[in-house]
Structure 1
């Protein structure tokens, strides 16, 4: 019997008001006063994964961990991997080296203190590591991280490094940090997103399932899927003043997301990022 490839289930633990697209409309100063819904959404997500016996990686903001330490502890207690999403959802591309160093070190220390487990992975907010700031990977390695999942090999108006490899690689040489991109498929001369985010909510589920199966069967590689707690939350507050594109990207099909996550747990084999990629991958 052929063994199914294990894919990486990942979740970026942030709340709706912290997404980069909302930054022009929601000031950081207002974050502490806003209704935070991440705790209840994480309870639902962890329940879904626990029921399916799926272990995942949770790239968690330090800002969230500081205010909801019980969420961090429940992630760790459930056998999931805790990883860093930075402290306050600042794009890596908007920080200089000193600011980035402080961000990745403080979030790592906070998560480790709360969970009692070592933090090995990092994902930049909005996939904000690319050709112009590959120095960030050196900074992560020096801070004690073992891998990153921060380069998205697609062309996008907010992020992307389309010339990057589609699968795990070391951008800064054989001794550099392992970079594990989220999953794409190659169609003609372009990489198309195939595992998560607004694309996953927009496209019919059978198409997303076909794309991930193609990566498993044709490329022989693990897929890296990602989502956010706010993507299952149909009752989240809706900020005023959002443009049509921003509203569409953020809210499209959020009412279907929870069922689709359940479907993924049935249709594929899953594991944590560290279990899949830190056992010789990319070397």
Structure 2
């Protein structure tokens, strides 16, 4: 078993880190059983408009964030990639086409992360330091993924959501940032969780944030920031502030509930927490600078 080392990164200036997973409404895992990747080009793109709405919202609330971006999206909207960087945010990789790590071989994963990193860097002119796996899919089955990321020039991952979930997570995994590789400074920075009443609860955003009452969620965020040795990392998707997106009527009821619940309230709830806390980029929160 690989020995891990926790990091001590907590101070008042680095307690909250904001992140956005840049993917479109038809690329989510809730619809992956009814929408094939080969059909993606047949859907109207909304991710440029919705991501720019996120950028405007961040400007209003003096927030800097990390944008984990699909290579598929970057290839089709390079101007969006440049705008993310020009407006002061961190550009990071979400892989090429939202394929989970545990559904790829070592070679396929290596090709995916290198191809995405190269494209994002070529478009933006900036170093891509961070990676987030589709579906938080770096887990006990895929510990080799960290070695591939480090050898491909990534500096950190935020691919762990250590809760009990039907698609991902390890409720006993580390909650705070740690170094998963021996003799290497590569960091895994899990998204925010809280241990409360004998249970591990997500405080990281996504569907949990849309479903929960706002005061409850703000309490969870505050508890997470106080208990983690590092930033409380929050995430959401641009499609979550887009209640007018096309509906996928063929999806299961469970998938529809997961995807559409609370979309009409999301933007206002997000604005509230952006005002309540000081949010910064993940690379800044982890003190990861540019390579020389």
Category of TM-score, reference length = shorter chain? over 0.9
Greater fraction of residues in helix: 1
- Partner-residue secondary structure (3-state), 2:141: helix
Residue of structure 1 aligned with 2:157, choices 135, 148, 151? 148
Residue of structure 1 equivalent to 2:196: 187
| Contact 2:14/2:285 (8 A) holds in 1 | no
Q: Over aligned residues, Cα RMSD in angstroms?
A: 1.6
Given that 2:71 and 2:116 are in contact with CA atoms closer than 8 Å, whether structure 1 keeps it comes out as yes
Q: 1:68 maps to which residue?
A: 77
SS at the partner of 2:26? helix
SS at match of 1:248: helix
Answering whether residue 100 of structure 2 is matched by residue 91 of structure 1, we say yes
Which of these residues, 179, 183, 195, is aligned with residue 170 of structure 1? Answer: 179
2:169 maps to 160
Q: Does 1:132 align with 2:141?
A: yes
How far the C-alpha of 1:190 sits from its partner, in A, is 2.7
Q: CA shift at 1:241, angstroms? A: 1.7
- Of 59, 66, 73, 2:68 maps to 59
Distance 1:215 1:223 in 2: 6
The residue matched to 2:91 in structure 1 has which SS?
Answer: strand
Q: 1:33 aligns with which of 9, 33, 42?
A: 42
Give the structure-2-normalised TM-score.
0.92
How many residue pairs get aligned? The number is 279
Structure 1: runs of 5 or more not aligned: none
SS in 2 for 1:234: coil
2:8 matches 1:13? no
Q: Give the whole-Å Cα distance in 2 for the aligned partners of 1:56 and 1:10.
A: 5
1:108 to 89, 114, 117: 117
Pick closer, same or farther for the CA change 1:35–1:190 going to 2, 3 Å.
Answer: same
Q: Report deviation, 1:220.
A: 6.1
- 1:276 maps to 2:268: no
TM-score normalised per structure 1: 0.95
Shift of 1:218: 4.5
Q: Aligned partners of 1:153, 1:228: CA distance in 2, in Å?
A: 19
